[in-house]
Every structure is written in structure tokens, then in C-alpha cells.
Structure 1
Amino acid sequence: MARPDRILIVGAGIGGLCTAVALAQIGAEVDVIDIKPDNAVAGVGWGLRTNGLRALREIGLLEPTLSIGFPTPPLSYFDRNGHHVVDIPYGRQLDGMPNNVQLPRLGFLEMASARALEAGCSIRMSTTATDIQEDADGVTVELSDGSSHRYDLVIGFDGINSSIRRYLFGETYVPIRSGGVAWRAPVRAPDSLKGAIFCHGFGGKVGFVPLAGGMMYVIVTHYESGRPRHDPAAFPQIMHQSAREMMGDSAFMAAEIDSLRAATNVAYTPLDTVLVPYPWHRGRVMIMGDAAHAMTPYLGSGAAMAIEDGVVFAKLLRSDDTLYDVQTKFMARRYPRVKAIWDQSLKMMHEEFDSATPEALDRRLAYLVHEEPKVLDYIHRILESEY
């Protein structure tokens, strides 16, 4: 198969848009579609570490990214009573870049969309692929707006519940329930909050992450048995109750936790995962990002891994290799790196949840001081290595 010139990306999220920019820069004609009507997303902020920033620099998106975000100091851990436990850095600073930047999710998507359009890509929202027919010369894709288009390659960046993954593999690889859930909500930040802090309570944590404009987002993570159907109208109360149960009668950040009862835009996310083994492709259709490797958020690397996917693939396409050779080389470079981060992120989640008693919580806090910095140094060295 020859190198693709016309490419369809299914999914206008962080990975899909960055990949569209990267592919357009090597001369590909790129269409992007997304089932969502607009860029409105659940979740208010996200962090990007050195490896993700390095990938953005390669496609000219570093400066506009830094302009809408801000560097953050090391992550501070406290116990449930407000006693400082340990500060853990986000890794080393490389090539003058910050080691972590906190970003508004919507702001980044709007910036990346604008850059993709400037690069010549087309973006259609409220649109999905209803039929895919592949032959020896290309792929015919029927869209939900009734139009039909011909492509050399289709890439699914359509998330953990990917329809493109289902097209490739049926129900062989489906999301797996990890047992964890995350609640996120934006609230006013105290003036004293300069960097992210996480408070370890019984069986999980409550985090406070600063945003621009005097705001922060609160994140609560814990184990949840089964798959309950929570009423969205009750999200603020449930999130507040979960945080209070974890922190007990502690007065630490109590006012901020109580403010959750009046929070709007509360996001509830079961921390499901999926990791598709080799290959992520079949013929002229392939998957990347969360469609191939959705991970828990414990290393803050899901979006960075998706960005890396697109940048690496575009770099490999610059060669004279056939599409199959490019896909094979891509998998050889990406799968071991992604799996290492996926495995460690899941392990960290289970270690956090194994703290439901006072004795277990004491062990967890001791681990944070004496062992977790060593583990994270190993992970940071992986992230800082060539991708």
C-alpha cells in the first residue's frame, strides 16, 4: 500500500486534532469528523508534562499551548488532617520547557481546532461514519450527513467507546471496569492555592488543582462497586458526600469541600480502561489514542500519549515506506512505551484505593514518602526518552 494522501480522522479531541495538524504539515489532505455538536467537554482542566509539550513543539503548537496554560510547582501531598506529607516533582525540565503545564480543556480544543483549519484540514461536527467499505485501492466512508467520501486511510481517535475499534475487532476489545471513579468540578480557589495539592483519605483522595481566573477544579477519586446509575442532578451532593466520607471530620480544606454542594458542571467518570495489543490496524483503517489505549489518569499521560501517537505516525509517513511498513514501525515504537505507562497508571490507582483503614492509610502515606518518588523517577525517565 502506498503512502496515504487523503486521510479521515474520526474524533476531534486532543489527539485527533493534533494528529490532523501533524499530517497536514506533511502534505496530507485531512478531514476530521466528530459525533459531538461542539467542543464542549466534561472536565475543566488537564495537565501536560514534558513529553506532551515536546510533541506539541514538533508540530508548532507549543507556544500557543503555553499561552493558554501556566506552569505548576511540584505536586504536594497532605494527609486528611492537613499535615504535609511530601512534594513530588513532575519530572525534569528539558530544553527550557516546563515539566508540567495546567491547561483549560476547552481552550486547548478551540486552539487546536483553529490551527487544524489554518493547516487546511476540514472539521465537521455532529457527524459520524455510518459505513466503511475498504478495497485494495482505498476506503469508502458513508457519513451521517448522507455524503460519501473516498480516503486512503481512516484513523479512529474516537475514544474509549470507539466505533472504529469495533469495526476492526468487533467486541474482542471492550472497555474494562477498573473499579475506580473520578468526580471533577470547578469551584472558586482559595488565594493560598498556588499549585496542585492532593489529600489522601480513606480509600482515595481529594485533589485541588488551580486554574486561571481564581478558579480551581476539585477531583475526588475512590473505588465504587458495581455500576450504579447516578442522577446527574444529584452529582454535586454525591461528590460532596464522597469527599467528606474520605476526609472524615477533618477541617482541612473543609470550606472548599463544602462548596461542592453548589458546584455546577460536575463530571462523573468511571475509570474504565482498554489496551488493544498489536496490531492497532487492519489494512487502511487504524486506531490511536484512547481508542487503542485508554488508561487511568494517575500519571496524567493519556492525552500526551495520544498526541505522541499522531506525531510519531506523521514522522514515519515522511519516509518512502509502504503504509503497512509505516504501521508496523509505528506499533514497534508505540506499544511498549504506551503499555509501560498504562500498566503503572493502573497499578497506582489500586495502590491508592488500598487505604481504607487507618493502618492501611498509614502504610500508603509512608509509601508516598519513601517509594513513590523512586517509581515516578523511573516513569519520568521513560516519558523523557525518545518516543
Structure 2
Amino acid sequence: MGAVKKVFIVGGGIGGLTVAHALQRIGVSTRVIEMGDKRDRIGTGITLLGNALRALAELGLVDACLEGGLGWDTVSVRDGAGTILSEQSSPRIWDADRPAALGLMRPRLGQILEDFATKSGAKIDFNTTITRIDQDDRGVTVQLSNGETDRADLLIAADGVYSKIRQSIFGDEFKPHYAGQGVWRYTVSRTEAMNGFVLYRLPTGRVVGALPLSKELCYLFFLESTDEKLRIPQDRVCDYLRNLLAPFTAPELVAAAKVIGEDKHISYRPFDVLMMPAPWHRGRVVLLGDAAHSLMPQMTSGGGMAIEDALVLAQELNRNDDLETALKTYCRRREERVGRVYDIAYAICREERKPEHGRDYSMGLLREGYAFLAAPV
């Protein structure tokens, strides 16, 4: 019968919408509470590696995602002029006949997940927040900002790294902290040279990365290491990015620098990270995705970990009649796996900030991480 019949999900992002769809597929009624407006989805792009595609395939979502983005297999390192220094194919861990990884625009992914969740029967309340949570042995009651009161068997907090639900239930013990890095992301037209995950590296160590999002688009990213969070006035952002790109002479990067400011989406995000120890639940409230673990980007796995969370939580709620057993098993299965990815990504970050080993050290950590992700969830 499963542990729950009705679930609240706080947060309509990748993790929240994926778990809504996953639960609806097994007959659990879901209601998603999202503080934002559905028209406000923004962002550059996201990369989903083979482990995430494997989970999406199990949930019946992968075909639509592949149609909405661009699959790729190639990982290459190039010099500042674009000359290939090394190139390899990523293993196709989930399907030998389909791409190893996928890039797509975040708004597009959000719309795909929303469409599947609603078609599966999920109810989504936009522009709505929870103002009060009351738990007892039989369920959880919430009061909503629209004045409504509702009750369910479980509340899933998928409301991000700055989760208000986490703070309300767990207090201030678990807070994200700045990891000493941030990333600039800049959406540009894709050229044939940007055929997969590409790193352009200067002798000074500065790196620009490129990831494809569609046949027409890709995004460039620049990691910046700073002791304090970087703050650039908005009227200086375009010049700042031009200066970052100026030392690179690869034709595709020169072309990208020339059109900075021409209505291209530019974002900067400091990395506030968190890895909560289990348990990720108290009573009938459980955390999912960035609310429990916000990762550095070096393993390109933040979204993928949230998708895996959604799959595993739905599995455990379906196979266990006892809610506490289901939640404990979910936390046990996820904490070790996510924790390993968190540690590897953080180790690469530390090496990038204050190099103590050769370049092969970070590449070795990446290979270790990818091999770990290839293992079954």
C-alpha cells in the first residue's frame, strides 16, 4: 500500500517537480507549493550526466528532456587558441545507443517537469508560501499564504539551499557556507567547435568552460576564487566579462566576447554549500535536493543529485508501509552517495583555489567521481 497517500512538496524546482511526478506515478496525491510565478523561470543552462539521465529514464522523463536539449559525449581540453590538447568520449552508462550527457536551458527543463507533473495529476500552487506547519502522529497540517489550510501525510522540503522549511524544522544548526568560489555563466550562440564539454585553459591556469544546451545555444562559464563573495555593479558586468575573455584567442570565444551585452543572459552565483548529516527528516517533514545538500559545480551533479533523491524517495515510500522506515532508508541510501560527490567536488575546489598538486590531481578526482556516479543508485 505504501507509506503515504497525500504529500505536500515545497518548491517547484527540479527536485520538487520530479518527485511530484514520481509520486503521482505510484498513486500518491501531491500538491506543490511554489513561492515564485511560473512566468519567472530564469537561468542559463544545466548539464545532466548519465546517472541523472538513467534516473529520468526510470521515471519516463528522459525522452522529453533529450528532445528539449542537446546530448553530447565528448570531453576536450584546449589551449586559449582553441587547439585540442586532449579529447575523450564519456562512457554511455545508461544506454549504449544514447548520449552520455545532456545540456538544456533551465527554463526548458522546468517546463518539461511541470508538464509531466501536472499531466500525472499533481496540483501546483504558484505565488504561494506556507505560513505555519503543525505535525502530529498521523499527519502534517499547513496554513498557506492564500488563507487556506490543508493536511497531508508528509511534507517534502525541496525549497533550495536557503530552505525556509529546513530552518523552521531543524533550526539554525545547518546553514550553507561560502566555499570561496563563484561562477559566471553566459549564454551564447553555439558553434561546431562547442561539441561537448570543452575547457579552454591558459598557461596562467585561467579556464573558460563551454557546455552545449541546444543546436543553437551553449553557455560559457568562468570559475572565480575569492575570499569574499564577489560583488560587481550591474553597469560593469559586461566589461568585466570582456576582460575575462580577452586573453583567449579561440575564434568562438572571440566571437562570444564581441556580443556581450546584446541581450545575452549573464548570471553570477557564489557557491554557498551544505552537506547535512542524516537524518534529513524530523517527524513528517523530509528534505530533498539542495535543501539537504548544495554541491560545488565541479562534478556538474547538483541537479542530478536532486533527481536521484526524487527517484529514491518515491521508491522507499512505495515499498514501505511504515513512514519512518521509508524515510530512514531514503536518508541512508542518499547520504553516502551525495556525500562522496560533495567531498570530491570540494576537493577539486580547494585545489583550484590553492594548488598543492599537479594538474593530473584534479583530473584524477574527476575520473574517480564519474566512475562513482556510474554505479547504480
Q: TM-score, normalised by structure 1?
A: 0.90
Tell me which residue corresponds to 2:190.
Answer: 189
The 1:374/1:231 distance shift into structure 2, 3 A limit, reads: closer
Partner of 2:112: 111
Give the equivalent residue in structure 1 for 2:239: 237
1:219-243 alpha-carbon deviations (Å, 9 max, x no partner): 1111123134333343222222334
For the residue of structure 2 that corresponds to 1:139, the secondary structure is strand
Return 5+ residue gaps in structure 1 as ranges.
none
Residue 186 of structure 1 and its aligned partner are, at CA, apart by 1.2
The equivalent of 1:378 in structure 2 is: 368
Partner of residue 220, structure 2: 218
Q: Which residue of 2 aligns with 1:347?
A: 347
- Please say if residues 204 and 222 of structure 1, whose CA atoms lie closer than 8 Å, have aligned partners that are also in contact: no
Give the match for residue 249 of structure 2: 251
1:286/1:204 Cα in 2 relative to 1: closer, same or farther (>3 Å)?
A: farther
Counterpart-to-counterpart distance in 2, 1:378 and 1:228: 31
What CA distance in whole angstroms lies between the structure 1 residues aligned with 2:270 and 2:129?
24
Q: Deviations over 1:304-330 (max 9, x none)?
A: 110111111111112243111111111
Post-superposition offset of 1:51 = 0.8
Tell me which residue corresponds to 2:23: 23
> Could you tell me whether the CA contact under 8 Å between 2:179 and 2:272 is conserved in 1?
yes
Residue of structure 2 equivalent to 1:10:
10
Deviation (angstroms), 1:34: 1.1
| Alignment correspondent of 2:167 | 166
Where structure 2 has 5 or more consecutive residues not aligned to the other structure, the ranges are: none
Q: Which moved more, 1:206-215 or 1:132-141?
A: 206-215
Task: Specify whether residues 131 and 233 from structure 1 end up closer, same or farther in structure 2 by C-alpha distance, changes over 3 A only.
Answer: farther
Q: Is the 8 A contact 1:30 1:122 kept in 2?
A: yes
Structure 2 residue aligned with 1:128 = 129
What is the aligned residue count? 372
Deviation >6 Å, runs of 4+: none
How far apart are 1:295 and its partner, in Å? 0.2
Letter aligned with residue 100 of structure 1: A
In the TM superposition, residue 73 of structure 1 has moved relative to its aligned partner by: 3.0
CA distance 1:91–1:293, change in 2 (3 Å): farther
Q: Given the superposition, is the C-alpha separation of residues 101 and 281 from structure 1 closer, same or farther in structure 2, using an over 3 Å criterion? A: same
**Which TM-score applies when normalising by structure 2?**
0.92
Give, in whole Å, the separation in 2 of the partners of 1:26 and 1:150: 20
For 1:305, the aligned partner's letter is M
Q: How many percent identity over aligned positions?
A: 31
Determine the C-alpha separation between the residues in 2 that align with 1:182 and 1:82. Answer: 21
Give the aligned partner of residue 152 of structure 1: 153
- The answer to whether the Cα contact below 8 Å between 2:45 and 2:104 also exists between their aligned partners in 1 is yes
Cα distance, 1:9 vs structure 2 = 0.5
> SS at 2:179's partner residue?
coil
For 2:351 and 2:41, the matched residues in 1 are separated by 29
2-structure distance, mates of 1:321, 1:338: 25
Does the CA contact (< 8 Å) of 1:49 and 1:90 recur in 2? Answer: no
Offset at residue 26 of structure 1 (A): 1.1
- Secondary structure, aligned partner of 2:268: strand
RMSD: 2.1
Are 2:333 and 1:333 aligned? yes
Task: Name the residue aligned to 1:55.
Answer: 55
